Structure 1
């Protein structure tokens, strides 16, 4: 009897893929993917056994068009664990998770459903004995020695070792699912389906050209600079920073910090380091992770202008691969989002870290391509505190065991180094700081003064705004921004602008363009904004008012003042105030307290020592529990019975951003109306529609959206096709480009409106 791995109803059986060919091909490919991680044998075995369940006669009948599908992902895990002997059983069990999960996702060892590891491993097997002959008589010998790839525990911390093993299991899983998908795709392409272009040039082959382009770009940048004394001094300082950073590329792979104040050119400096470091140490790709989608376009534009459009992959939440319909899986960039095969990847922290903790095959495919990469974490201080421990441990695994270099790049270094009182930190050595003299740089690039004003009510803020024609005010909530804007509007202040996430992204881009124009032309510009303006947005105000917040946020606010260094520092003041009329959100209130505990210790709050002291307070206050609020690490354990890994539950719970908000689409512009009209067309993929409408979406409290829906102001469009995915505003008068979406009424207080 012939056993098949894949069939096609329009192809004769002699054109079907045999099962043994599929298993052998996936094994070879998975092993190749794992070579950089030292897990070649384990990944090979995972590929060889992953579809062993297809030797079930019932499955063979199914792919021939007879009967129903049967579970074919369990048998290989069972047989592998039965065959493994001695210490090899430990690695076999880790591989078994990957085999069990290669379609439905990595399972938990134990949970209340029958899909968990233990329940599935008890299922009866119905395998034709032909599998032994087809896989070969030496299959048991191939399993021998699996335990050699198991890392040795470095201390007696069994929970840390359990995480190490669980991470190793993720890498094997990634190699398996990527190889399985690509071999299956290759078979169907061979049957005449449209061929796909997955080939990307290797980073190592591109590096000489990249470095030449980088040097040429920096030369052009310097030659275009305005020949004023200030700009000459700044350019000389940036050149010195770049030279020092690139000199550090010769140091061995591992952790680095890059602490450069706003305006010091850290984005380009970090790229220069990555190019040189990869050339010296042979890394396979550069991954640049950014905390905010609002600035990813800005960074992508820089990288593309330097390296070339065709070599840079941009991947973030707005173009998530899981939203793609099969009909859209055509062009090279979309395919590359699945596996990050491009030489340079620009992504978000959400994509990077949620992929590292995901149980789903679609998100895990890229993990093996993260190995042997240079990972630059921009604005490292924004890593969510409640997930900081699992994030740090995942980074440490990538550095210690998977050949990665990680650069923590920021103006406000978050003091993640391991030290007395913070033994949970990263192994960051002082000699791995890439910037020359961060303390000195902070003094040289200091462009503002931070002053504390005390309590100010909105009337006082409006009065202060009236004194200067150009000024920035940043508050802690959308509610406060709206209230303050309305009061300032009533005072007839000229050049008044309101910027919050009440406005959809397309409107915000237009507003920011107008703000930059008015600032450049010296026109009145009084901007009232939420903290979104601090997310790397390139604006340059002469002064600012900032509601009390954490020190890192205040320093980020200061980065929007005198950004180009054209004004005297003493005239460029960021005034920190306590709002009289609006209490800060609970989380920000805690950070305010942390800052107040260090204020009297540091005359200059922008100095690296003050920032380190502040983050020490932040981490000390919450302790281990606060740094792993969902007990992510506590769900990977070792016991006498083997592993107890809760992959699936962790994948559900690990979320970098938990806004608790619900989307409302504002279909006022013609482009938005065009795509809303297509919601009723069954042949238009939901993923495409979601991406096109992303720029016209406002996030609101769920109770507010439901209230709007009940009142008939919001409706789910085409629910028969899209369910409740697309909530569209029906009452256009509720949205105003200057105010944004106004969902409150006189008797409704948006208590949940605490974000931006």
Structure 2
């Protein structure tokens, strides 16, 4: 125990020293396992048969800290450390329950802990004297005077939990511990690699106008990063190299202002692959960790893969992390050890929020309050990236963070210069048949619909009308990720070879999928979705102008909520200003201003997170949801993608005593997601086998062009 306490203490201090100047993490590290001194725990260790968790110990350390407080040491740091210790196995509790419920209700055998821990309690008293006390008034610029202390507790809790895990792992599995130590390059080395890569790119590149604009954006990012401004916006048109320019800003900023890592968060799983692959191409796999729900680390014999799997637990040893906004923000508001363990790695980092306008409106207020605290107190730089020409004059867009300083001062001129498409609004609503006929007038065309049902209807009609030898592709979330990825790669290959193709898709292709079609058809949608869709046309500037047709589909579906409201606002604006306004940034200010005027004051905080009683960690975890509709995952048994892989997963499900995180992660590659209240789930129960809460196996058909079909649907 002494050795473990010291090991945990030194690691926790190393993790937290830049943000915890008050000794909270140190106190928690000394106290976290004092409950193991109880006679009951000693008997448990000696027992032949041990039932894990049968003897409590975590609350024992909190009891010892409470005893010090009762003996006259009234210090806020002790209260915070007690809550951290009480939750270091089961999750950080609401602060009031620690002293009102957990300590009073603790087993009698833990009440002796203070008498057994006199040495450690004296060390804790010395720590209180050695470190400065917390500032009065909360040290917070946010609405709540407790917000900073809440975030500080989360970060200290993260540092303790990670140190505890790592020290325990080092003792029980030293080989696994060694595998965590990778060969990633330093921030300075990574920046040198990027500069060499960009130099080579310029030497190979042709002297085209688009390349000059890309170089202009890249240079602006380099220069802006030299200034000590930690809230930035990079808003530039699609196709101007935002992925590399933003990482150039991040690395330059990290070099100059002591940042340890870069975290790139994207809104959709399906666009992470492309971003991560680009960074791995530049920096090597040893320096870039890709983490999301649909990535599986299955080859445990591969040392790099094993290190990535371990690093996904706590984001250690990789200087560049590519993840989802869901993973990032649900971790920030979680109280669970498995999620929170990585949080302290956010301190001293650059966070790039790509396509940030896609952040869900119903949780914007708590998200931006958290980011504000990270910038103010934890040496974090936040970069908001978008290809939508947003105006930051509307305060609701960025909550209480203040206005970000834009990296490209001439971004309006960039948007004006990059008019690579002509927007054409189709005057009258189209039938499915008329839409397909119009698409077939073009050698290659992409059509984006608002729902999977519409995409399937249009695809079937396109097959029915097949003309001119065009190959027809379908892309939607009815196809599992493994399938979609293969189809996207094939489409890119066909476009490269200038084949005649039609692609009928849902909005999943709008961001991060580098298609370049001469013509794009977009069903009426929110304004930013239309502009994103336009980014799939004439992307490389090969044509004088690409064509983007905005149409209404007779009988077309529409997602509800803010998507429907955004579409209504877009229709009103286009009726009033015409499609020519889509090239002007001011239209987006009008759009977002009108969009955020919907609803009551709680529009940006639907769950009331910012108004919770202070230190309500367990409650915040329960309430905070990035995705406001529950979904289930459905493993596609009859998908013919990989020999034996799905059969192996099903065999493991049948034979294994329990399913691991790795099983779920690998299975996600071959699963589709459905809303819990969907018609599909209700009408196909006889084809669905429940695996666990939120997981099913689909025994019905899987079409290798369109994915899962309803019972009455047939893929052609």
Q: Distance in 1 between matches of 2:329 and 2:359?
A: 10
Matched with 1:176 is: 160
Q: Per the alignment, do residues 214 and 743 of structure 1 end up closer, same or farther by CA in structure 2, a change over 3 Å counting?
A: same
Q: Per the alignment, do residues 239 and 648 of structure 1 end up closer, same or farther by CA in structure 2, a change over 3 Å counting?
A: same
* TM-score when normalising by structure 1: 0.85
Q: Per the alignment, do residues 148 and 614 of structure 1 end up closer, same or farther by CA in structure 2, a change over 3 Å counting?
A: farther
* Residue 594, structure 1, aligned to residue 569, structure 2: yes
Q: Secondary structure at the match of 2:697?
A: strand
* Residue 47, structure 1, aligned to residue 29, structure 2: yes
Matched with 2:336 is: 360
Deviation at 1:710, TM superposition (A): 3.9
1:106 to 86, 89, 92: 92
Matched with 1:61 is: 43
Q: Per the alignment, do residues 629 and 707 of structure 1 end up closer, same or farther by CA in structure 2, a change over 3 Å counting?
A: closer
Q: Per the alignment, do residues 585 and 117 of structure 1 end up closer, same or farther by CA in structure 2, a change over 3 Å counting?
A: farther
1:666 to 636, 661, 664: 636
Matched with 2:267 is: 291
2:559 to 574, 585, 590: 585
Q: Secondary structure at the match of 1:288?
A: strand
Q: Per the alignment, do residues 481 and 39 of structure 1 end up closer, same or farther by CA in structure 2, a change over 3 Å counting?
A: same
2:666 to 679, 692, 714: 692
User: Structure 1, residues 147-191: CA drift from partner, whole Å, max 9, x if none?
Assistant: 73347446897x52233221111011101111111222222246x
After TM superposition, the structure 1 stretch with the greater mean CA deviation from structure 2, 127-136 or 618-627, is 127-136
Q: Is the 8 A contact 1:632 1:654 kept in 2?
A: yes
Deviation at 1:370, TM superposition (A): 0.9
Q: Distance in 2 between matches of 1:320 and 1:654?
A: 26
Deviation at 1:674, TM superposition (A): 4.1
Q: Distance in 1 between matches of 2:117 and 2:231?
A: 47
Map of 1:360-509 to 2, 5 A cutoff?
A: 360-412=336-388, 414-415=390-391, 419=395, 424-429=399-404, 432-454=405-427, 455-493=429-467, 494-509=470-485
Q: Distance in 2 between matches of 1:47 and 1:223?
A: 54
Q: Distance in 1 between matches of 2:166 and 2:414?
A: 49
1:625 to 602, 606, 619: 602
Q: Distance in 1 between matches of 2:478 and 2:119?
A: 62
Q: Is the 8 A contact 2:162 2:314 kept in 1?
A: yes
Q: Secondary structure at the match of 1:527?
A: strand
Q: Distance in 1 between matches of 2:123 and 2:472?
A: 77
Matched with 1:16 is: none
* Residue 652, structure 1, aligned to residue 622, structure 2: yes
Q: Distance in 1 between matches of 2:235 and 2:698?
A: 44
Matched with 1:750 is: none
- The ranges of structure 1 where at least 4 consecutive aligned residues each deviate by more than 6 angstroms after the TM superposition are 154-157
Q: Is the 8 A contact 1:704 1:744 kept in 2?
A: no
Deviation at 1:381, TM superposition (A): 0.9
Q: Per the alignment, do residues 128 and 505 of structure 1 end up closer, same or farther by CA in structure 2, a change over 3 Å counting?
A: closer
Matched with 1:10 is: none
Q: Is the 8 A contact 2:293 2:665 kept in 1?
A: no
Q: Distance in 1 between matches of 2:475 and 2:558?
A: 19
Q: Distance in 2 between matches of 1:485 and 1:246?
A: 45
* TM-score when normalising by structure 2: 0.89
Q: Distance in 1 between matches of 2:472 and 2:27?
A: 65
User: Structure 1, residues 733-753: CA drift from partner, whole Å, max 9, x if none?
Assistant: x3212232112538xxxxxxx
Deviation at 1:692, TM superposition (A): 3.0
Matched with 1:608 is: 585
Matched with 1:331 is: 306
Q: Distance in 2 between matches of 1:381 and 1:320?
A: 28
Deviation at 1:128, TM superposition (A): 4.7
Deviation at 1:706, TM superposition (A): 4.6
Q: Is the 8 A contact 1:249 1:273 kept in 2?
A: yes
Q: Secondary structure at the match of 1:376?
A: strand
* Residue 93, structure 1, aligned to residue 109, structure 2: no
* Residue 510, structure 1, aligned to residue 452, structure 2: no
Matched with 1:78 is: 63
Matched with 1:29 is: 11
Q: Distance in 2 between matches of 1:636 and 1:150?
A: 20
* Residue 162, structure 1, aligned to residue 139, structure 2: no
Map of 1:339-350 to 2, 5 A cutoff?
A: 339-341=314-316, 342-350=318-326
Q: Secondary structure at the match of 1:392?
A: helix
Q: Distance in 1 between matches of 2:524 and 2:165?
A: 51
The CA RMSD measured in Å over matched residues stands at 3.1
Q: Distance in 2 between matches of 1:507 and 1:423?
A: 37
Q: Secondary structure at the match of 1:549?
A: coil
| Structure 2 segments unaligned to the other structure (5+ residues) | none
* Residue 740, structure 1, aligned to residue 707, structure 2: yes
Matched with 2:195 is: 215
Q: Per the alignment, do residues 233 and 139 of structure 1 end up closer, same or farther by CA in structure 2, a change over 3 Å counting?
A: closer
Q: Secondary structure at the match of 2:598?
A: helix
Q: Per the alignment, do residues 202 and 165 of structure 1 end up closer, same or farther by CA in structure 2, a change over 3 Å counting?
A: farther
User: Structure 1, residues 648-675: CA drift from partner, whole Å, max 9, x if none?
Assistant: 2321332223453322222332243343
User: Structure 1, residues 77-127: CA drift from partner, whole Å, max 9, x if none?
Assistant: 2332442489953332222221111000011246xxxx7662103235422
Q: Is the 8 A contact 2:23 2:131 kept in 1?
A: yes
Q: Distance in 1 between matches of 2:595 and 2:401?
A: 16
Aligned residue pair count:
694
Q: Distance in 2 between matches of 1:181 and 1:339?
A: 10
User: Structure 1, residues 339-371: CA drift from partner, whole Å, max 9, x if none?
Assistant: 111211111111111111111111111111110
Q: Per the alignment, do residues 706 and 445 of structure 1 end up closer, same or farther by CA in structure 2, a change over 3 Å counting?
A: closer
Deviation at 1:306, TM superposition (A): 1.2
Q: Distance in 2 between matches of 1:701 and 1:278?
A: 41
Map of 1:208-357 to 2, 5 A cutoff?
A: 208-225=188-205, 227=206, 232-319=208-295, 331-341=306-316, 342-357=318-333
Q: Per the alignment, do residues 507 and 333 of structure 1 end up closer, same or farther by CA in structure 2, a change over 3 Å counting?
A: closer
After TM superposition, the structure 1 stretch with the greater mean CA deviation from structure 2, 130-139 or 516-525, is 130-139
Deviation at 1:701, TM superposition (A): 4.2
